[in-house]
Structure 1
Amino acid sequence: MSELQLHLSAISTTLFHLTDINTVVLTSSGTVLLNHEHDSIPEFLNSWQKEDIAFLAAEAQISPVQCCKYTNIWGVTYLAKAFHLHEERTKIMVTGPFLLQVPDVNKLYSKFKLDQGKRIELEGFYRGMKLISAARVQSMANVFEQIEGISQTDIRELELQTEPVRSPRQSKIELMLQQPDEAFIDLIELRYQIEQEMMQAVQHGDHETLQKVRSKMKNLYDFSERFPNQPVRALRNALIILNTLLRIAAKNANVQPFFLHQISEKFAKQIERTETIDFLNKVMTLMFDEYCRLVRQHAVKGYSPLVQKVVQFISLHYNKPLSLEELSQECHAHPAHISRQFKKETGMTLTDFQQKQRIEEAKPLLRNGDLAIKWIAESIGFDDAGYFTRIFKKLEGMTPTQFQKS
């Protein structure tokens, strides 16, 4: 066996034993060089798997610095990574299939009109497959990144000490075992550090910084070990905690309780009702985006108590005509004083601020794509869609229709 073949064998065997998942090594053209099988594929799925592996081999070579993840129409997932050894041609490592979540077999039965025999075979196949958390997938991808450095390592056997010599004091090993695991402490400290960075970014409505912090998180916030084989429940619990942290961050920015309650309740319900990993990840992205937007739109930190009250009043009644008389009664101050103080602290007139609030409320409605401009204009308080369009263009540099298309 050549040095290259030995190296390929060491790599593929290592990954196979670490994951207990089918592992295949391919040439750049898709020819199988090595194949380690843990879960046999139902015969009627063989053609699907061949197509999937060919697709992964092609995709992995398009972006060799990245690890490709692909979930097919049957709900099973594969990882693939291109690599080079000894200046040879590109090889592709593929691991899979495995499950990110339990597929809806009833939908598959209906979609593919499977007979009873195939149904039983498919159910047995799914039951035997590994259910992998998102954090473990990330860890597998991290190992794939180091493929070229994997080699066969010598192992030195240590003999059991049948009669250990003990000093009157506890042995050094015993003392070490009593100490907290430093690596574990470092991980906990890193989690809290990133958590603080995340909350600071939300507190300032800094979406750009928040995206950078999110890229650090990855599998640091995985608690799937608490719920083995229940990745949906593990992620759902993590999002419940995240929702609380984001609400606290927004509260620290002096966002009014009404808005905090509104957004927190909305996401609590979405988390509870969502049944798949993919949609829970989308909910997480929405949470980051909307809490940041909430802070930018409704935070009143740094304003005087009077201006804070005005901001809260207009934010709550943005879609109604601005009544200085009602505002005066709410704030217990003269209308002229309110107008002067508001302009002094915010740099905007009361009308400008209300229009800005209305435009911000219009944006998510426009992103929906299915709502008419006239309906959106009326729902946020504009009687005239043309006037709404002019104000929107003045503040955003484009028309509502252009924003909708972008």
Structure 2
Amino acid sequence: MNRTIDDGRKQSGEKSDFKKVNTEEGNLKDASPNSSPVCSQHEKAMISRQFIEAILQVPVSLCTVCIEEIEACLKSHLPDFLKENFPFFITESMVLSFEPLVLYHITDFLSLNFNLFLYDNKSRAMIAGPYLTCQAGTDFCEQVLQDNGKNLSLLVPFHQFCLSLPIVGNSYMLEAMRTALKVVTGYGDEVPYRHYEPQARYSQEVSSLSPQGVEEATMELLEHRYYYEKLLLQEVAQGNQDMALRYYRQFSMDSRSIVRTEDPVRTSKNLSFSLNTMLRKSAETAGIHPVHLDIISSNFAMLIENSNSLKELEEFKSQMISVYCRFVQKNRLDQYSPIIRKAITYIRIHLADQLTLKRISEGIRVSPSYLSRLFNQEVHESISNYITRARIDKAAELLSFSRMSVQNIAFYVGFGDLNYFSRCFKKHKKKTPTQYRASSAIGA
């Protein structure tokens, strides 16, 4: 069984070569020569390895900087079925690109994570991994296998292997490796950080393409991204949460293949803001009034801006999709004519006011008799009955998810008399307000 050290964000693994995806630039300097006559850089590396393995339970390898030895070290941590079914993720060109005094984070095709840095005048490497940054459930394992075009007969052994891996948040792992780099090399400045992850499985090795080929590959990525974006927004407009989340996962992978900045948190925030805007506009097509959507949108915008965690930002994206879908499912009005949409929206916005047929008809500028007839025809109940039901539904929501008193809730939803509110509530919900609160998922 694995041990969770901290939550972190999974970088998605996909089948192709690797591209550098983000960099924190720093001023590189030569490390000060090791003045100790009894402790070489390699001896310090061996001590640091023991520390990381003991504290984080992540395996650490020390090897010479050549592709053959690096491959042998890392494959020693993988079961045979993975070595036989997946290509090795570090290439000769990657090894040649490694620089001293830089910390590298590499995510492979299986979403396994590795950190490494060079020491001993670029002749040796310290490599930590494999580890995961989040729990690997069967859904995660199934998605990884599908992304790599592998048969699901590998699902059970792959899931068992993932359960044996340590789970460590990237922030913990990177801090431990930064400390090790400084201890081993004597480097005293800020350590630059670079991250490599697989390109999308359908993309070619862009570095070997002609300028025209690069443009075609980029266009292919964009086409995939906007294809899944369109499907995602269609499902949100219908309130289909499960399908929307499924298309979002694919859209998210395609977005990571295209968007690259030097600040991964800022990138995630920008994507979150864009997704929030798209979801709001999609929900609006279902007839949801912008006033209601603005409340949802503003709350998520504030959460996004105040977050500095990649894992938290990724969770916000899924939460946004779920919230918008549930809101559409509950409040969609696109099945009604424009006049009835206006009437229902007016009722919802002015729920605490003294609502009458006359006041509503004046508010949306239509005759009372026409509105009454059209409302009965489309909604299949009178306006007065609809108002009462809407007030009771809102009261039930507040009883479940707020600490407001029953009396304040009654006034908040437009009931001036507490006894009348209680009678109406019991008629619709078969329980008194107090009984309903006691039986709800979240009590007072």
Confirm or deny: 8 A CA contact 2:376 2:382 kept in the other structure. yes
Equivalent in the alignment of 1:193: 227
SS of residue matched to 1:21: strand
Equivalent in the alignment of 1:113: none
Taking the aligned partners of 2:193 and 2:306, their CA distance within structure 1 comes to: 25
Structure 1 residue 293: Cα displacement: 3.4
State the AA in 2 paired with 1:38: I
| Mapped pair 1:403 → 2:440 | yes
Bigger helix fraction: 1
Taking the aligned partners of 1:374 and 1:292, their CA distance within structure 2 comes to: 31
Equivalent in the alignment of 2:239: 205
What is the correspondence of 1:137-286 to structure 2 with a 5 Å cutoff? 177-222=211-256, 226-228=260-262, 230-286=263-319
Equivalent in the alignment of 2:76: 9
Taking the aligned partners of 1:225 and 1:130, their CA distance within structure 2 comes to: 18
CA deviations over 1:328-384 (Å, ceiling 9, x no partner): 322333433322210101223223333443355456545536555554444333443
Confirm or deny: 8 A CA contact 2:287 2:341 kept in the other structure. no
Structure 1: gaps spanning 5 or more residues: 23-35, 41-51, 68-80, 105-116, 144-173
Structure 1 pair 279/354, CA: closer, same or farther in 2 (3 Å)? farther
CA RMSD of aligned residues (A): 5.1
CA deviations over 1:144-175 (Å, ceiling 9, x no partner): xxxxxxxxxxxxxxxxxxxxxxxxxxxxxx99
| Mapped pair 1:393 → 2:404 | no
Confirm or deny: 8 A CA contact 1:100 1:132 kept in the other structure. no
SS of residue matched to 1:210: helix
Structure 1 pair 242/222, CA: closer, same or farther in 2 (3 Å)? same
Equivalent in the alignment of 1:147: none
Confirm or deny: 8 A CA contact 1:236 1:272 kept in the other structure. yes
1:380 to 387, 406, 413: 413
CA deviations over 1:96-123 (Å, ceiling 9, x no partner): 755259999xxxxxxxxxxxx9xx98xx
Equivalent in the alignment of 2:170: 99
Confirm or deny: 8 A CA contact 2:353 2:414 kept in the other structure. yes
State the AA in 1 paired with 2:277: T
Greater RCO, CA 8 A, separation 6+:
2
Taking the aligned partners of 1:176 and 1:66, their CA distance within structure 2 comes to: 35
Identity across the alignment (%)? 22
With normalisation by structure 1, the TM-score equals 0.57
Taking the aligned partners of 1:39 and 1:129, their CA distance within structure 2 comes to: 17
Structure 1 residue 276: Cα displacement: 2.2
With normalisation by structure 2, the TM-score equals 0.53
Structure 1 residue 246: Cα displacement: 0.9
Taking the aligned partners of 1:276 and 1:10, their CA distance within structure 2 comes to: 29
Taking the aligned partners of 1:320 and 1:292, their CA distance within structure 2 comes to: 28
| Mapped pair 1:300 → 2:333 | yes
Equivalent in the alignment of 1:75: none
SS of residue matched to 1:38: strand
SS of residue matched to 1:227: coil
SS of residue matched to 1:255: coil
